């Protein structure tokens, strides 16, 4: 009995952890549209979502969703075996969702729990059947394959429906409002928003309060029988209210729709999907209580109780779950990362693309372009021109320029929320299975396609991203099934020892994953902080880039010193440290190049000097980081493979080179801090000395290779050290010259 108490305690602990990892992934469902459109501050959006979650937990049906769907038949399992199934499911769910969160990919908690139950129950059923020497045909009685097939097919069919609906409805909405929707919003905004609010309320009535224990059956029947009248009344009242607020209080009705939609989706999520996280552990607890009351041995007590009764989760537990989920979306960095993935895939503007193009994405985009050309030939030109005005690039640029950091506008955000609400509510009313994650994601991607967010510059990357997410959904099902089946096998065959070992492995995995993710977040923050100087309003563009280059040169100097020191002393730790830092700097160089193009676009046509400074600065940063990284790779490869520098003269040359280059780095940094003619003279003098030394030592090494005939690897290293150092020194000189020239030009201008 003590062991069973331990397992129940572990299940309850896993329930709390599963809530955290689960809501970190599912939060994207109700946060995506509000955050992407920047309808309000991040803090306000999160508060509204938390309110929806906490209130939704009160309205939860409290019934284990998966048990009702009938993935397996609990009456054929004993209490001992059912605990194995539940523990295997929860351990798998924690790992699976945490992996997807760390990758920043949205997945379906419903699909994961279904396939985890299927894998664990099938494995446990087979082992249990074998222990009883049952006929092989008896194995299939444990699993409800027909129900599982219907659930899975319904869920994946919803992907196609959601994407198509999102594309069509958003296309029609954009035709109506265009990208400059302010004028038409004054005419149609209240009515359009009234339809949105009505749809959201319908969603809440059908999905959000479905099966709640807080409403009496009479009240539920009254709402159900008068739904149409209620919705018509809500449409009239909401449209009139929004019209008044728009005209007299200057309230944007679309903002109301987006915030209301965020609240409703969060509420419905808490009301229905949270049982995916706590349903299994609570069922285990109630099964334990039922078994204790029976007095029958655990390996003989069959779970007819679970088959014949709905598993009701107490309201206080639902409230605790709601609070845990609310705190999670407020604090979780992983929730932000998953949300960023979906927002960036639907971003209206170009930007840094997270996903790389592949052959499939290129093929899909190429086929779409061909289809578009054929469509353009078939449809009359006059009609095409008429509709194209709603998608004019000029209007698009102006619309996105006014909200510089918003991924998309309120029209698309409203469409995403309203359409997702309608599809989910309709499917729920028809008792059709679906995944809220799949529906909300595919609606968002369909509306992005309709809005032409996937332009020629970004289409292959965005399509690759969508394919990666969808591929992840299939992987979710496969991993959930196989891992839970494996865990069930270990728990069944390993007994108490196997249980303790498996739990230790899983908890260690979670801790290591958390530590690794925090390190990645620190790295990401450092990368973003490097570019923050470009947002400094107190500096002009040239000063920003001068400061940016100064910080880069400082980092390069530190890494260069580590490389030479690591070579001299054979210290692989220093070489690895330098290599890692330079890898980050290489990525930084690409980011600076992207930012530079954006800056140049915003400059006036006459400001050629600033444009040149920007483009040359980004080029210098890339040249410096690439040359130093190449040197670092050579040095690390040499030392890591246990090669030794036998040439004592070369070791002396390295020490001298390190000293001379350090002095040169310091002079360049001083010139960037305070540009003066005197500094440039010192730089020229030091440059000539360093260059002369490098050329002399390079000639010596070439002669030495011919004379002493060192190993190929040592000879390659010796020449590359001097060649790359010469390249670095040349770039540093060009940097100083450029900013001195700017300084002289500025000083030559007559003062006003």
CA atoms within 13 A on the CB side of 286: 19
Up-side HSE of residue 657: CA atoms within 13 Å toward CB? Answer: 31
pLDDT of residue 418: 85
DSSP-derived secondary structure letter, 751: P
Transcribe 363-428 into DSSP letters. Answer: HHHHHHHHHHHHHHHHS-HHHHHHHHGGG-HHHHHHHHHHSTT-SS-HHHHHHHHHHHHHHHHHHH
Q: How many beta carbons lie within 10 A of that of residue 436, not counting itself? A: 25
Question: Do 25 and 108 contact (CB within 8 A), yes or no?
Answer: no
143: β partners: 72
Residues 513-534, buried b or exposed e (16+ Cβ, 10 A)?
Answer: beeebeeeeeeeeeeeebeebb
Return the axis-axis angle of helices 459-531 and 572-602, rounded to nearest 10°: 110
Which residues are CB-contacts of 111 (< 8 A; sequence separation ≥ 6)?
152, 155, 435, 473, 476, 477, 480
Q: Which of 329, 407, 242, 278 is nearest to 48 (CA)?
A: 329
**pLDDT computed for residue 752 by the predictor:** 45
Task: Please name which of 598, 705, 205, 703 lies closest in space to residue 428, comparing C-alpha atoms.
Answer: 205
Q: What's the token pair of residue 100? A: 């997807």
Residue 143: phi and psi, rounded to 5, are: -115, 135
Cut 0.85: pTM above it: no
Q: How many CA atoms lie within 13 A of 215 on its CB side?
A: 19
Reported as half-sphere exposure (CB side, CA atoms, 13 A), residue 166 has a value of 28
Q: Where are the domains of the chain?
A: 2-337+360-521, 532-748
What radius of gyration, in Å, describes the C-alpha atoms of the chain?
32
Q: SS3 sequence, 303-370? A: CHHHHHCCCECCHHHHHHHHHHHHHHHHHCHHHHHHHHHHHHHCCCCCCCCCCCCCHHHHHHHHHHHH
Q: Give the C-alpha separation, 107 to 338, whole Å.
A: 9
Angle at 249 between CA 248 and CA 255, to 5 degrees: 125
What are phi and psi for residue 710, nearest 5 degrees? -70, 175
**What's the pLDDT at 618?**
86
With beta carbons less than 8 A apart as the criterion, state whether 717 and 698 touch.
no
Question: What is the 8-class DSSP label of residue 70?
Answer: T
312 phi/psi in degrees, rounded to 5: -90, 125
3-state DSSP assignment of residue 237: helix
Query: How many helices and strands, by DSSP H and E, does the chain display?
Result: 26, 0
d(CA 49, CA 329): 9
Name 302's bridge partners.
78
pLDDT tens-digit series, residues 471-499: 888 898 899 999 999 999 999 999 899 99
- Please tell me the predicted confidence (pLDDT) of residue 499: 92
Residues whose CB falls within 8 Å of the CB of residue 243, separated by 6 or more in sequence, listed in order: 190, 253
Residue 308, C-beta contacts closer than 8 angstroms, at least 6 positions apart: 75
CA dihedral 307, 312, 317, 322 (to 10 degrees): 100
Residues of the chain with pLDDT under 70: 1, 59-70, 180-182, 205-216, 271-272, 308-313, 348-353, 372, 375-376, 379-406, 428-433, 455-456, 535-538, 675-679, 743-752
pLDDT at 401 (0 to 100): 39
The residue assigned the tokens 């309201």 is 315
HEC profile for 508-569?
HHHHHHHHHHHHHHHHHHHHHHHHHHHHCCCCCHHHHHHHHHHHHHHHHHHHHHHHHHHHHH
Distance of alpha carbon 151 from alpha carbon 11, whole angstroms: 26
CA distance 294 to 331: 43
Torsion of CA 221, 224, 228, 234, to 10 degrees: 90
Token pair in block for residue 485: 């089946």
Residue with tokens 């005939």: 709
Burial label, 203 (beta-carbon count in 10 A; 0-12, 13-18, 19+)? buried
pLDDT of residue 635: 93
CATH number of 532-748: 1.20.58.220
């Amino acid at each position: 009995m003590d062991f069973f108490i331990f397992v129940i305690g572990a299940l309850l602990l896993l329930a709390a952890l599963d809530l955290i990892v689960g809501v970190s992934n599912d939060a994207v469902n109700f946060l995506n549209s509000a955050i992407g459109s920047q309808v309000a501050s991040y803090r306000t959006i999160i508060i509204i979502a938390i309110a929806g979650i906490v209130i939704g937990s009160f309205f939860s049906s409290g019934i284990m969703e998966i048990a009702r769907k009938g993935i397996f038949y609990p009456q054929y399992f004993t209490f001992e075996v059912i605990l194995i199934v539940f523990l295997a499911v929860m351990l798998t769910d924690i790992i699976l969702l945490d992996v997807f969160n760390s990758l920043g990919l949205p997945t379906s908690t419903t699909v994961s729990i279904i396939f985890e139950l299927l894998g664990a129950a099938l494995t446990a059923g087979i082992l249990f059947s074998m222990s009883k020497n049952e006929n092989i045909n008896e194995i299939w009685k444990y699993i409800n394959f027909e129900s599982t097939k219907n659930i899975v097919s319904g869920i994946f069919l919803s992907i196609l429906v959601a994407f198509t609906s999102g594309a069509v409805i958003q296309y029609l909405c954009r035709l109506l409002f265009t990208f400059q929707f302010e004028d038409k919003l004054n005419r149609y905004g209240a009515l359009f928003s009234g339809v949105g609010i009505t749809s959201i309320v319908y969603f809440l009535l059908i999905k959000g309060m479905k099966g709640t224990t807080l409403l009496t059956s009479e009240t539920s029947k009254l709402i159900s029988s008068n739904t149409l009248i209620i919705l018509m009344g809500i449409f009239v009242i909401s449209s009139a209210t929004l019209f008044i607020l728009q005209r007299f209080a200057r309230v944007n009705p679309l903002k109301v729709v987006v915030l209301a939609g965020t609240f409703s989706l969060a509420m419905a999520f808490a009301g229905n999907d949270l049982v995916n996280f706590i349903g299994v552990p609570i069922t285990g607890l109630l099964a334990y209580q039922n078994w204790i009351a029976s007095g029958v041995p655990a390996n003989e007590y069959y779970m007819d109780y679970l088959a014949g009764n709905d598993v009701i989760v107490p309201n206080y537990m639902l409230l605790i779950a709601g609070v845990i989920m609310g705190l999670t979306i407020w604090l979780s960095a992983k929730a932000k990362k998953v949300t960023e993935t979906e927002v960036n895939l639907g971003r209206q503007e170009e930007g840094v693309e997270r996903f790389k193009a592949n052959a499939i994405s290129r093929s899909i985009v190429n086929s779409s372009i061909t289809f578009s050309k054929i469509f353009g030939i078939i449809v009359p030109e006059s009609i095409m021109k008429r509709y194209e005005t709603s998608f004019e690039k000029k209007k698009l640029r102006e619309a996105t320029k006014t909200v510089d950091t918003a991924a998309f506008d309120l029209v698309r955000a409203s469409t995403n929320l309203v359409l997702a609400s309608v599809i989910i509510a309709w499917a729920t009313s028809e008792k059709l299975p679906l995944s809220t994650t799949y529906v909300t994601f595919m609606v968002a991607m369909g509306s992005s396609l309709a809005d032409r967010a996937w332009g020629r510059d970004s289409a292959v990357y965005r399509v690759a991203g969508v394919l990666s997410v969808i591929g992840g959904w299939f992987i979710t099902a496969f991993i959930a099934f196989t891992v839970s089946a494996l865990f069930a096998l270990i728990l069944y065959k390993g007994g108490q020892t196997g249980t303790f070992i498996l739990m230790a492995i899983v908890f260690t995995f979670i801790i290591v994953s958390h530590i690794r993710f925090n390190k990645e977040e620190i790295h990401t923050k450092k990368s973003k902080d490097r570019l923050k100087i470009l947002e400094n309003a107190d500096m002009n563009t040239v000063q920003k880039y001068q400061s940016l280059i100064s910080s880069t040169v400082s980092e390069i100097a530190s890494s260069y010193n580590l490389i030479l020191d690591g070579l001299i002393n054979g210290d692989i730790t220093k070489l690895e440290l330098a290599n890692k830092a330079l890898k980050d700097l290489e990525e930084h160089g690409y980011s600076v190049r992207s930012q530079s193009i954006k800056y140049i676009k915003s400059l006036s046509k006459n400001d050629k000097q600033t444009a040149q400074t920007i483009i040359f600065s980004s080029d210098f940063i890339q040249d410096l980081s690439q040359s130093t990284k190449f040197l670092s790779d050579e040095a690390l490869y040499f030392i890591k493979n246990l090669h030794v520098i036998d040439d004592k003269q070369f070791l002396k040359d390295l020490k001298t080179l390190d000293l001379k280059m350090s002095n040169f780095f310091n002079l360049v940094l001083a010139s960037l801090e305070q540009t003066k003619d005197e500094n440039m003279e010192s730089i020229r003098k030091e440059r000539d000395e360093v260059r002369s030394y490098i050329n002399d030592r390079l000639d010596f090494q070439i002669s030495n290779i011919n004379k002493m005939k060192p190993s190929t690897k040592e000879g390659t290293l010796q020449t590359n050290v001097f060649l790359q150092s010469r390249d670095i020194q040349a770039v540093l000189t060009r940097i100083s010259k450029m900013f001195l020239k700017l300084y002289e030009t500025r000083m030559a201008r007559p003062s006003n």
